[in-house]
Amino acid sequence: MLREASLVQTFVELADSLVDDFDLVEFLALVADRSAFALGSPS
């Protein structure tokens, strides 16, 4: 269940980052960090 909850939280954070002052670098850093966590890589 922890993995599913983490994935849901990630999608919420990604959706929240898509606002008027969208920062592509910050968005990609978030995707990379969450992907590493989801794949079990140390951050």
CB atoms within 10 A of CB 10: 17
- The 3-state DSSP class for residue 3 equals helix
2: amino acid identity, one letter: L
Mean pLDDT of 5-19: 85
Mean pLDDT of the chain: 83
CA dist 1 and 23 (Å) reads 31
Q: Say what the pTM is.
A: 0.65
- Banded pLDDT at 42 (limits 50, 70, 90): low
